[in-house]
Amino acid sequence: MASGGDGTLFAGTVASLLATVQANPGGHEFEIERVPAGLSPGRARDFLADALLRSDAAGLMIIESGLTFGPDAIDRLLGHDVPIVVAPYPTWEDAFERGLQLLPGDAPAILAGLREVEFAPAGFIWIRRTALEGMADAAIARQDFGRRITGFFDPVVVQDGQAAHLGEDWAFCQRARDRGLSVYCDFDLPIGRSGSYAYQVEPLPDGSVPIHEYFPVVDRLMALPSAALRPPGVELPPPIAAFVDQLEMLEVSLKEAAAKSMAEYLERRVR
């Protein structure tokens, strides 16, 4: 389990994990590994990979905090007979994560089924143990928090003697391909995203901010997953239903507070 650098674990991800455990009692043996607070996503994932290699686990499942998924999503990913497989997930701006890139020359007309990709985000990814073992000698080991950590997800700034930049996810995919491993994406696996959202509103030339620009900010600032967690026609188990009820009340109060704060700010700007 990987969370943001501040250690925030969003409610939608917790609810998805609870639903998965309830729907698959005794389905898999697993451990949730905690990492030191304040780590970047790449360093956190390296800590998780190190924990896997110190254990006898068959593979590493990384779930980025804020992602939501169905109770069979993890089983589906684990069921693919490939060394590395991801699921695409949305950003707030686009239908899919911008870090997902098809193979050179691959036609994007039909994004369906399991297909090999060149680069993919590692927010919802299953990595078999054999893949990490095969990649270990292509990554640099370092000391981090008193432990020897292999930099599977270390960003790349120089490649083949030329200036380049690969973020932690793309660098991982590049290292995998360098060792003859393919990265696959299951385009039929729906993954959602929830949490807090905010973006910078561009001011007008005179320095003021048009009031209508604030409405999408207020609407999406605290986009908690209450509606997504209550599918139409589905009766939730009492513990989950109570949890969603609390989320709905929290969502209302947070949005009201955000709207009030922005109204006060606009009033001060007018003065």
pLDDT at 146 exceeding the cut of 80: no
* CA–CA gap between residue 84 and residue 135 (Å, rounded): 12
Are the C-beta atoms of residues 249 and 224 closer than 8 Å to each other? no
Average pLDDT, stretch 236-255? 77
DSSP 95: S
Indicate the pLDDT class of residue 163, thresholds 50, 70 and 90: low
pLDDT at 260 exceeding the cut of 70: yes
CA atoms within 13 A on the CB side of 120: 26
The β-bridge relationship of strands 183-186 and 84-86 is parallel
Average pLDDT, stretch 57-71? 89
101-102 sheet: strands from edge to edge = 59-63, 124-128, 84-86, 183-186, 114-119, 101-102
Which pair of structure tokens corresponds to residue 231? 């599918």
The CA R_g of the chain, rounded to the nearest whole Å, is 21
Average pLDDT, the chain: 75
**Could you report the per-residue pLDDT of 101-114, keeping only the tens digit for each?**
888 877 766 677 89
Q: Report pLDDT for 13.
A: 82
* CA–CA gap between residue 114 and residue 80 (Å, rounded): 9
Query: In a 10 Å sphere around its CB, with 0-12 CB exposed, 13-18 middle and 19+ buried, how is residue 111 labelled?
Result: middle
Are the C-beta atoms of residues 88 and 97 closer than 8 Å to each other? yes
For 193, residues 6+ apart whose C-beta sits below 8 A from its C-beta are: 66, 67, 68, 89, 90, 91, 92
Q: Report pLDDT for 182.
A: 95
Q: Which of 117, 36, 127 is nearest to 78 (CA)?
A: 127
Alpha-carbon dihedral angle through residues 91, 97, 99, 103, given to the nearest 10 degrees: -170
Residue 89 CA to its chain's centroid (Å) = 7
DSSP string, 40-52: -HHHHHHHHHHHH
Phi–psi pair at 270, nearest 5 degrees: -65, -40
**Could you report the per-residue pLDDT of 70-80, keeping only the tens digit for each?**
889 999 999 99
* CA–CA gap between residue 41 and residue 47 (Å, rounded): 10
Which has more confidence, 25 or 238? 238
Helix (H, G, I), strand (E, B) or coil at 126: strand
**Could you report the per-residue pLDDT of 233-243, keeping only the tens digit for each?**
777 788 777 87
